[in-house]
Structure 1
Amino acid sequence: MVPDTLGLAEIPLTVAVGNASSVGSESLIWINNKTETHRIGQMDDSTWLLGNINQTGYFRVNYDLANWKLLIQQLHNNPEGVPLQLIGYLPEEPSFLPWHSASRALYQLDKLLDRTDEYSLFSDYVLKQVAARYHRMGWPTNVPGSEGNVLQASYQTEELQRELIMLACSFGNKQCHRQAVTYISDWISSNKNRIPPNIRDIVYCTGVSLMDEDVWEFIWMKFHSTSAVSEKKILLEALTCSDNTFLLNRLLNLSLTSDLVPEQDVIDVIIHVGRNPQGRNLAWKYFREKWDILNARYGEALFMNSKLIGGVTEFLNTEKELNEVNTNKYISLRSYLQLKDFIQANNLGAGPAMPRSLEIVEGNVRWHRLHRRHFFQWLRKSPNSNLG
């Protein structure tokens, strides 16, 4: 908000218009008074208006009845089209908050899609939106081999740069991967950590996921040797990023059966392994097999118990999942009912955690049934889907 000379605030409002066949690009208007009028392009009886795109403003937007009906009709006819076409304007977006809002939605979709056969359609689409702004913003100015400090940027610029690096590395940008590997290799060879502090979590995780077992052992060693609590947390989470299921299993077992991982961090290890697509089934299986031990250790701490239940189940989403109790296979569509049976059979006194976890998983499965096919159809038709 920008205060004017009278002490009132100017409110930035992002808007877009569209109809059944297309969505226009986003525009920005400034609201200076309690009541005012703005002309927004050509609109007719079939054109809707959407305000506060990606919820970048901390306020609600209301519409007249006709506009609400058009928006509802649009969402019924093409639920994926509106948000994805709006995301298509991101390459031109220079501000942090729209990117931050969009990235939350993209990670939610990623959680639903990352084990599907057509996942590359989605990841390529995201990379296409991210590439130009990511390359324009670059990385913090110190690089391996440089003894200079990171140049200070404004908070918003620094956060946007971090957001873009995280998106680029998470969805497979090769230059982002090379830069992360370069940082890790420099750290190992020089024993000097020149990785900018505000992106260490991204670099550590990316390096562990791409590099060999020696890098995992290096991060494990650093986890034990550092005394900084915040750094230990980042290093421990990085260990869960490996694509090597043997190492993920090893970490799960060490966390619960030894004193090498602090007791208060055990639940975080299980949850973060579950967030890794390569570790999702491992964490879900481990959760069930070790439930008696986990419940004995954390059962009285309802917050920890709820955190574990929610964290280990939130990524379960396929029609083969959640109907499993004692086997090591994917689970079938009875899904959330079997999870409910497991929780009730084991007397999980976790308050609202049980119905909440069931609700989330049921919603994930429902999304796949109702929207997945249409979503990928939209991606195939979108002019922004091809990387070129």
Structure 2
Amino acid sequence: MDVYKPTSYALCKAIKQAKRQYMDQAMQKEGKDINIKEVMDCWTLQMGYPVVTISKNYSLDHSVTITQEHFVYDRDAKIRDPDLFNRSLQWQIPLTVAVGNSTYKSSEVILWISNKTETHKVGRMDEDMWLLGNINQTGYFRVNYDLHNWRLLIGQLMTNPEIISVGNRAGLIDDVFNLARAGYLPQNVPLQIICYLPQEREFLPWHAASRSLYQLDKLLDRTEDYSLFSDYVLKQVASKYHKMGWPLALTEGSVIQASYQTEELQREVIMLACSFGNKHCHRQAVSLISDWISSNKNRIPLNVRDIVYCTGVSLMDEDVWEFIWMKFHSTTAISEKKVLLEALTCSDNGFLLNRLLNLSLSSDLVPDQDVIDVIIHVGRNPHGRHLAWRYFREKWDILNSRYGEALFMNSKLISGVTEFLNTDTELNELKEFIQISGGGAGPALARAVEIVEANVRWHSLYQRQIFQWLRKSPNG
């Protein structure tokens, strides 16, 4: 006799339904009337993700007001296109919160946020107690606070950062930079938060800071007052850089062991120091490159080779560029070839950057799959941004015919060469290019226009604000 066997689809559907019912029942036992399907639908069927703003009510009732809204970098878009953003986008958010002060942090409690605005009590909160949301970054949303709470959190990081977990320290840094970039916070708040970094001993918060600082750096690196920003960053990095030092140079037969976290933190700090112009870091990189050239033995530690190569090429003369170019052709190790090729894009010499761009596309000297990376990395170099942008437009027909069918490669090229354009002139050039080129790769180019418009808007709104604060800052 045949036995009925449900199809795989039907079986999976039945299992999912059973799981949802079980989770619904578990929630109801805890007194929470929450439908798991509704919770999941609002996260999977809506675009984007929310920003949750927690504002302490500084009164005797120890309550907080919690609001949610769709997080966007271009907040003016909500005004320009209200139909898109006023569709009552809202989420059911499991928000974990804790309160604390310089010596104490409470256990976390969970608040289910379903409405645009809600008021909750989260336990006793004195005037000097901070509130922290999204404990250990388990939720897919950003968290903002009222300015007084931000000041309390920054004060906590300055006095005893380890009261707050590593994951939350990294999350605070990532959130504060992105919130400020989108205009939810004054521009000085992220700059203030990095003042605690000399005390930070863990890799994740440093990594979050460096990633955010590089994004800000690319918005500011061609401005007249850029040195105010770079000097400020260097001041926060200097003590950790000198304390950690460099990994030991490789010698024959040497086995140098270090924990992964220590090695990654050391690398992150060295990269920040060299990128923002620490003179000792520059001298060390030049010394290692010079030793390699004179001895023809590469004793540069493996985990900082890309930093040393790039720094050396940017600071030293044309002979060093030629040396790296020669090594790029002679090595057979694919990973080393990529590092050497990227280093060649770090030059301050426009002639050499143009030469590399032309050689990459018109000869067999650069592997086909690396041509896009060359153009993108030249564009990330402030001395090469205009060159890469002009080259991209001049060679578009060739590039599009070569990579057009590989949509990922084409999108990578377009976003990579345009993401750091930030002047009105460059925005107009982009729009003109789209008209002339006939709008090929439409979605990627449309997205590029949005990003460049956001960069230009950011400059007009916030650049002056940053430099005004840096001039007055006692930590500058």
Of 274-283 and 312-321, the range deviating more from structure 2: 312-321
- Counterpart in the other structure of 1:278: 383
Quick one: which of 431, 444, 459 aligns to 1:340? 431
Following superposition, the deviation at residue 149 of structure 1 comes to 2.9
Q: 257, 271, 275: which is aligned to 1:152?
A: 257
The higher relative CO (CA closer than 8 Å, separation ≥ 6) is in 1
Whole-Å separation in 1 of the counterparts to 2:408 and 2:322: 32
Partner of 1:43: 127
Establish whether residue 261 from structure 1 lines up as the match of residue 366 from structure 2: yes
Distance in 1 between the 2:102 and 2:367 partners?
50
Which of 133, 143, 147 aligns to 2:240? It is 133
> How many Å separate the matches in 2 of 1:208 and 1:99?
26
Q: For the Cα contact (< 8 Å) 1:309–1:357, is it kept in 2?
A: yes
Paired residue for 1:161, among 266, 275, 283? Answer: 266
2:435 maps to 1:350: no
Q: Tell me the residue number matched to 2:215.
A: 108
State the secondary structure of the residue aligned to 1:352. helix
Offset of 1:355 from its aligned partner? 2.1
Matched, 1:209 2:323: no
Give the Å deviation of 1:344. 4.3
Structure 1 residue 350, shift from structure 2 partner:
2.3
* CA RMSD in angstroms, aligned pairs only: 3.3
Which amino acid letter does the alignment assign opposite residue 353 of structure 1?
A: A
Q: Which amino acid counterpart does residue 212 of structure 2 have in structure 1?
A: A
- In the superposition, the TM-score normalised over structure 2's length comes to 0.65
The size of the alignment, in residue pairs, is 341
Indicate conservation of the 8 Å contact 1:142/1:148, yes or no: no
Q: Does the CA-based 8 Å contact 1:56-1:97 persist in structure 2?
A: no
Q: CA distance change for structure 1 residues 253 and 68 in 2, over 3 Å: closer, same or farther? A: same
Most deviating of 148-157 and 109-118: 148-157
1:142 Cα shift?
A: 2.7
Deviation, 1:353, is: 1.2
**Secondary structure, aligned partner of 2:426:** coil
CA distance change for structure 1 residues 150 and 316 in 2, over 3 Å: closer, same or farther?
farther
Equivalent residue number for residue 331 of structure 2 = 226
- Residue 379 of structure 1 is matched in structure 2 by 470
Look up the match of 2:277. 172
Q: Quick one: which amino acid aligns to residue 273 of structure 1? A: V
> Which runs of structure 2 are paired with 1:68-147 in the superposition (5 Å)?
79-142=186-249, 146-147=251-252
| Distance in 1 between residues matched to 2:411 and 2:142, nearest whole Å | 36
Distance 1:27 1:285 in 2: 53
**2:26 match:** none
Q: Determine the C-alpha separation between the residues in 1 that align with 2:362 and 2:241.
A: 42
Stretches of structure 1 that go unaligned for 5 or more consecutive residues are 1-16, 20-25, 325-338
Confirm or deny that 1:199 pairs with 2:304: yes
Q: Where in structure 2 are there 5+ consecutive unaligned residues?
A: 1-54, 58-100, 111-121, 151-178
Change (3 A) 1:96 1:317: same
Q: Distance in 1 between matches of 2:391 and 2:451?
A: 20
Query: 1:190 matched to which residue of 2?
Result: 295
- 1:308 matched to which residue of 2? 413
1:118 shift after superposition = 0.1
Structure of higher CA gyration radius: 2
For residues 77 and 305 of structure 1, the distance between their equivalents in structure 2, rounded to whole angstroms, comes to: 33
Counterparts in 2 of 1:291 and 1:242: CA distance versus 1, 3 Å: same
* Structure 1 match to 2:14: none
Distance 2:377 2:103 in 1: 38
Q: Is the 8 A contact 2:345 2:378 kept in 1?
A: yes
TM alignment of 1:359-370, pairs within 5 A: 359-370=450-461
Instruction: Return the TM-score normalized by structure 1.
Output: 0.79
Aligned amino acid, residue 346 of structure 1: S
Looking at structure 1, the residues matched to 420 and 394 of structure 2 have their Cα atoms a distance apart, in angstroms, of 18
Q: CA 1:230 to 1:204, structure 2 compared with 1: closer, same or farther past 3 Å?
A: same
Find the residue that maps to 1:131 and give its secondary structure: helix
The one-letter code sitting in structure 1 at the alignment partner of 2:272 is L
Report the alpha carbon displacement of residue 270 of structure 1 after superposing the two structures with TM: 0.6
Q: Report if the CA contact (8 A) 2:327-2:340 is conserved.
A: yes
CA distance in 1, matches of 2:249, 2:279: 20
Q: Answer whether contact 2:56 2:146 (CA < 8 A) is retained.
A: no
Letter in 1 for 2:371: V
Which of 323, 332, 340 pairs up with 1:235?
340
- Cα deviations across residues 293-322 of structure 1 (Å, max 9, x unaligned)? 111211111111111110110110023322
**Offset at residue 141 of structure 1 (A):** 2.2
CA shift digits 1:207-258 (9 cap, x unpaired)? 0000000000000000000111100000000000000000000000111111
